[in-house]
Structures are given as C-alpha cells and as structure tokens.
C-alpha cells in the first residue's frame, strides 16, 4: 500500500471502524519460556474423587482419562465394563464370593446424580471388571491394588501385548444401562467434524489455531493408541 510501516499490529480489517489496541512493546523474560510439563500419575494424588470422575467421564479417549482411571484404581475403585461405572465394596458389609463373581453391597458413582450411592444385593461377575492400568510409577508412589477377582491386566484369553478394544470411545458409551441407574441423561449432541473443501466447515479453510489444536489432538490419540497396544484396557 506504499506505507513504510507494518499494519498487522493495528489493522483489524478494511471494514473495521476502529483500529485494535497497539501491541505492547516489551520483551518476554526468558524465565517464562519453559515448556509445560506432561501430566503424570502422581500429580492426581491431591485431587478429590469428584474431580477424578469428571476427568474420566468428560475426556473420553484422552490421556487424562487413563491417568484419572489409574488414580481411582489406587484409591480402591474398579471399573465395571458392562455398566460403565466405578464402584467399590461398601464398608461394614458382607460379600458372598464364588469362583466367577460375588454378591453384596457396593458404593457406585452415579453419573446422573453426580454423587456416590450405595446399591445392595448386587451381583458382580469378575469377567466384567476392568483391570487396573499399568502406568509407570515412581517407587514412592502407591500402586493400585488388584480389583475383585484378581484382574490386574488384559481380560482372560487375551495376550498382554494384544491391542484391546476401545471401551470408552465416546460420551454415549459412558452412559450406564437401566439395570443399575435410571436413565435421565440429556440427549447426546451430535459432534460436528471438520469437513468439506479446504478442510473446514462449509468449504471454509481451517484457521491456524484450530489446525494446530487438531494436530495436538491427533498426536494425543497416537500416544493413547501406543498405550493401548501395550496392554491398557481403558482406552
């Protein structure tokens, strides 16, 4: 345009009425330029159980879901694959055990009421219990106790290095059946995927920020797939 100065710092658009505020002229201190640390299993030991349940159910397919499941297992919770719920033995109650399962009273985290409820006279089959994640932990960090039935790895009949079928791949798959809890969840919202010409919605190109977010998400999915191939059954 024949100007000797840059317009990117003040020009929003040729159709904008007012210019944007000028960028502050200062240098960022070098102490601010540190990469963010990766989420580690031991970091979640200070979180409340409600926070861990939120991470598990609101981040399906994410690495944070696996780390939250690991911390819940350390605290004595175990995941029921058929009911898609976390549970543990109710205190001061008797449990009738057999070779294939057990019957008794259990504490269950109700995702509809978002609280821990107690269910009595409930039969649990050991084959429906998900094994605890085998995340690498420091020697000083507590390890997860084995769930009922002694399931500590992949289900029976499956090799330790086999790729496990994803159990929690979407929010709809996390909804429990009516056997235990009443269905009261709101209708699931259809997720819109980028598509069309140019990779955007309606044929529009994807913005740079969104493209970078998608790239990070795909990288996280690849890390989860690698963990799944190593024998993790939650993702």
The structural domains of the chain, with segments of one domain joined by +, span: 40-130
In this prediction, residue 32 has a pLDDT band, given cuts at 50, 70 and 90, of confident
Residue 51 has pLDDT above 60, yes or no: yes
CA dist 75 → 27, 65, 72, 93, 140 (Å):
46, 16, 5, 19, 15
Query: Which residue is listed with tokens 């719920």?
Result: 85
Residue 87 has pLDDT above 90, yes or no: yes
d(CA 133, CA 215): 26
pLDDT number for residue 137: 61
DSSP lists the bridge partners of residue 89 as: 106
In this prediction, residue 173 has a pLDDT band, given cuts at 50, 70 and 90, of very low
Percent of the chain residues past pLDDT 70, beyond the cut: 51
Q: Which of 59-68, 181-190, 200-209 has the lowest mean pLDDT?
A: 181-190
HSE-up (13 A, CA, CB side) for residue 234: 29
Q: Provide the mean pLDDT of the chain.
A: 70
HSE-up (13 A, CA, CB side) for residue 21: 2
The arithmetic mean of pLDDT across residues 119-146, rounded, is 74
3.40.50.1000, 2.30.30.1020, 1.20.58.100, 3.30.565.10: CATH of 40-130: 2.30.30.1020
- Report the C-alpha dihedral over residues 57, 58, 64, 68, rounded to 10 degrees: -30
pTM above 0.75, yes or no: no
In this prediction, residue 62 has a pLDDT band, given cuts at 50, 70 and 90, of confident
């Amino acid at each position: 345009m024949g100007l000797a100065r840059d317009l990117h710092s003040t020009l929003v658009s040729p159709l904008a009425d007012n210019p944007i505020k000028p960028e502050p002229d200062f240098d960022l201190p070098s102490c601010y330029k540190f990469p963010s640390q990766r989420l580690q299993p031991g970091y979640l030991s200070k979180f409340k159980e409600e926070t861990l349940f939120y991470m598990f159910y609101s981040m399906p397919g994410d690495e944070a879901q696996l780390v939250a499941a690991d911390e819940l297992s350390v605290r004595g919770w175990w995941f029921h694959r058929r009911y898609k719920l976390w549970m543990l033995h109710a205190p001061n109650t008797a449990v009738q055990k057999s070779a294939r399962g057990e019957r008794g009273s259990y504490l269950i985290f109700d995702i509809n009421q978002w609280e821990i409820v107690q269910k009595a006279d409930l039969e649990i089959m050991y084959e429906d219990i998900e094994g605890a994640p085998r995340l690498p932990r420091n020697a000083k960090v507590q390890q997860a106790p084995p769930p009922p039935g002694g399931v500590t790895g992949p289900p029976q009949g499956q090799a330790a290095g086999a790729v496990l079928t994803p159990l929690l791949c979407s929010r709809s798959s996390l909804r429990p059946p009516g056997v235990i809890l009443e269905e009261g969840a709101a209708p699931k919202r259809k997720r819109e995927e980028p598509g069309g010409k140019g990779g955007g919605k309606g044929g529009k190109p994807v913005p740079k920020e969104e493209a970078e977010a998608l790239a990070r998400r795909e990288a996280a999915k690849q890390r989860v797939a690698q963990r799944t191939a190593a024998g993790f059954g939650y993702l």
